[in-house]
Structure 1
Amino acid sequence: MTNLLTRAKPATTSDRYENRLLVILFLAFGFVFFDRQALAFLAPYMDDDFGLSNSQLGFLSGVLALTWALAGMFAGSLSDRLGRRKPILIAAVVLFSLFSSASGLMTGFIGLLAARALMGTAEGAVLPMAQSLMVEASRESRRGLNMGLLQGSSAGLLGGIVAPVVVVWLADSFGWRTAFFVTIVPGLIIAGLIAKYVLERAPRLRETPSGVAEEVSAGVSAQDSAKVKVAPAAPKVPIRDVLRLRNVVLCMLIAPCYLTWFVTLITFTPKYLTDEKGWGSGTMSAVMTCLGVAWVLWGFATPGISDRIGRRKALIGFTSVAVFCPIAVVYVESPVLLGTLMIFTYTGLGCFTLFMATIPAETVPRAALATALGVIMGVGELAGGFLGPLVAGRASDIWGLEAAMFIAAGGAALVVALSFGLRETAPAVLRRKEVHA
């Protein structure tokens, strides 16, 4: 035992900061999705005041995605130009909390639409800032896992498990407006934690001889690396050079397909369960909580597994399973069986980290990282998050809510096909290939 303790590697300053940063950013992005998901769970309660049609519900979801997309692209580019992320992140967290609470003050559809649009404007800046901070602070062996916990499991725990329970309870007990009002408190607390504990430049970067960790990541191929015309000392990378990288282009195509799967499924499933299947709010909440459990589980398991088997294999395999989740919503009549199947088929949320953060982070230079993440997220939210629910809502008004579920399944199927074109970036997998070459 003494020998084991002697050989144990003490935690470094960088490791401690990595863990602390992960906790803070986990909470920050988790509450982004708590606020974003609240509308879907409150829609049945808002019918008396708003009488929302499927098209209007889809439009409310879509306008948030639209402003989220534009804000993400702008914030990522602004961050890389200024070389600052922390102030942008703090402002975004404070503002999305205020705008989410404002939804509870609205008395008409237009006012609610405006509040959701402003909320998306603030929330869109959070993920590019958070993931670019996290990738720099992470050890190579934990990069995929950390980014998965930040983006997948956090949203699953707070947006998928806590939100349906807390939001439905608040709506039942105090009314749907109160459920919106309480969202301001955790946001302000998290903004304070970011201001006090988050550093602009991770200690791990300072420990490298050049002061820059992996300026061009190990995952980028020699062919793609040659396309990015940037010297080690150059602080700026033109966006046109980033958009020439094969993995970046494919991730931009994958993003809208996967956002269509996710936003359509999460927006229309609560209403499908209550309106089409006739289940009560408690049963609906319990089934939706199963989605949250799966979200947390696959949110860290999928990227963690990808650290070992590769990003490409993980994306293909887990997305193939995700195709069946919306199909199960249509055809499974037992709440218990549906909840169980959702846990095992809601694997797509773990894949979001791969195409939206990890693969781009292992492909582009650090100087263009926030820009690349913002563009991929923005294109996904614009085409999939905005247009996807609009199309699904209109199709549901014409052919029934089953149409939305089949649209979601089709989006995941397209991701599978596109993923075959990706170049592998996982460092451990690339090293194994070099050894066997």
Structure 2
Amino acid sequence: MKINTYENRLLLVLFVCFGFVFFDRLALSFLFPFISAELDLNNSQLGMLSSTLALMWAISGATLGHYADKKESKKLILIVSVVAFTLFSALSGMVTSFITLLMFRALMGVAEGPVLPISQSLLAAASTPKRRGLNMGLVNASAPGLIGAVIAPPVLIWLATTYGWRSAFYATIVPGLLIAVLIVLFVRNKHVHEDIADEHANQPRTSYLSLLKNRNILLCVLISCFYISWFITLISFTPTFLMQVKGFSPETMGGIMGSLGLAWMAWGFIISALSDRLGRKPVLIFFSMIATLCPMVLLYVESASAMLPLVFLTYTGLGCFTLFMATIPAETVSATRVASALGLIMGVGELFGGFVTPTIAGFAADAYGLEIVMWIAAGGAVLATLLSCFLVETAPVKDQAAEEASLALMS
């Protein structure tokens, strides 16, 4: 089998897999207006539900990502993770109280944590250098954008309004199990692309402390903290904000969230592709600046028809996630440490941005109004932009350009 054939097949399977992770993860945000009415939940509890899942995702991603790097085959861990988060998502439909819902969301976070670091380490190893950024962007950003934020809102809201919110959780079990079967059939146990294997063949394994001594890894960890604050705050509170503050109907809310999903999908592809040509750092800085405007659009634009295109144009942050959470680290550390580095970046980022920030935002929203969560999200994007300015460029195209310039000077 040619490497490009397997590369494309792996890309497709992991695209669907990680996209469905976010279908399950974001389901709570889209269904919360329905759940809160039945279970009598408030914004603080919504923040705690999002935060608890993120906390367990963080711990699991860092520990199991590190564990996976010690194993020759990461395939079994990925399969078990997919089956487990699918079952816990479906069980969320059986809850009768806040505590039981919190428990199932926590268990789901444990199961989902290792999916991204393992998927991206497999993809980095199997990708040709000229497509590495694009491939990782499609899985890291376009997949959750399409499946989790474009397909999920209308499907989940339709199920909730037609059959009840519990049925929306139950329905997730079938596609989840089908994805596990696809991984069994089409993902290899071991594969390392030649350029990565040769480049890092003799590099020793290092500790988390050694990883943090690397400038790019440390910066990516910090960027992750603030960018995940931007993302989780927006995705957790925007559906409720649009219905309670803006007064939009569930259908209008679903349409706007779908526009966010389309932006997530489109910018995930565009930003990653541009970074393969223009470099990781300038692309990350430019589109992070644009991402700071998205919460302001949600806060100050009153017309739903005007909000739709504006949120699409400014919701660029998820396209940037691939760069600091996957591509830059994968091009910075050895191939045997990619899952560890990605798990560390995602884990610490989820701990701060996914656990601490939404909890604070939830209590702040109950105390000062939901408008404040948009300012919290914007602040996260601003800090991520500033930190991006200190990254060291890793794109192969930049290395090639530097080599050609050096040869030109020597000749």
Mark yes or no: TM-score above 0.5.
yes
Change in Cα spacing, 1:242 to 1:203, as seen in structure 2 (3 Å) is closer
Counterpart pick for 2:38 among 33, 49, 59? 49
- Structure 1 portions without partners, runs of 5+: 1-11, 217-231
- In 2: Cα distance, 1:114 partner to 1:97 partner: 15
| Number of the residue aligned with 1:151 | 140
- In 1: Cα distance, 2:319 partner to 2:287 partner: 8
- In 2: Cα distance, 1:203 partner to 1:366 partner: 8
Counterpart pick for 1:213 among 179, 185, 197? 197
| Number of the residue aligned with 1:118 | 107
| Number of the residue aligned with 1:298 | 267
1:40 matched to 2:29: yes
How far has the Cα of 1:367 moved from its partner? 1.4
| Number of the residue aligned with 2:300 | 331
Counterpart pick for 1:424 among 366, 378, 393? 393
Does the Cα contact within 8 Å between 1:239 and 1:368 map onto a contact in 2?
no
Does the Cα contact within 8 Å between 1:77 and 1:371 map onto a contact in 2?
yes
| Number of the residue aligned with 1:16 | 5
- 1:8-407 to structure 2, matched below 5 A, reads 13-202=2-191, 204-205=193-194, 213-216=197-200, 232-233=201-202, 236-407=205-376
- Structure 2 portions without partners, runs of 5+: 407-411
Aligned length: 406
- In 2: Cα distance, 1:363 partner to 1:189 partner: 34
> Which letter maps to 1:316?
I
TM-score normalised by the chain length of structure 2: 0.97
How far has the Cα of 1:307 moved from its partner? 0.6
How far has the Cα of 1:347 moved from its partner? 0.3
How far has the Cα of 1:398 moved from its partner? 1.1
- In 1: Cα distance, 2:210 partner to 2:362 partner: 37
Does the Cα contact within 8 Å between 1:59 and 1:389 map onto a contact in 2?
yes
Matched residue SS, 1:237: coil
Does the Cα contact within 8 Å between 2:203 and 2:334 map onto a contact in 1?
no
- In 2: Cα distance, 1:388 partner to 1:284 partner: 23
Does the Cα contact within 8 Å between 2:208 and 2:344 map onto a contact in 1?
no
How far has the Cα of 1:202 moved from its partner? 2.5
Deviation readout 1:310-330 (Å, 9 max, x if unpaired):
110011000000000011101
How far has the Cα of 1:433 moved from its partner? 2.1
Aligned sequence identity (%): 52
Does the Cα contact within 8 Å between 1:92 and 1:126 map onto a contact in 2?
yes
How far has the Cα of 1:51 moved from its partner? 1.6
Q: Considering only aligned residues, what root-mean-square deviation do their CA atoms show, in Å? A: 1.2
Does the Cα contact within 8 Å between 2:294 and 2:314 map onto a contact in 1?
yes
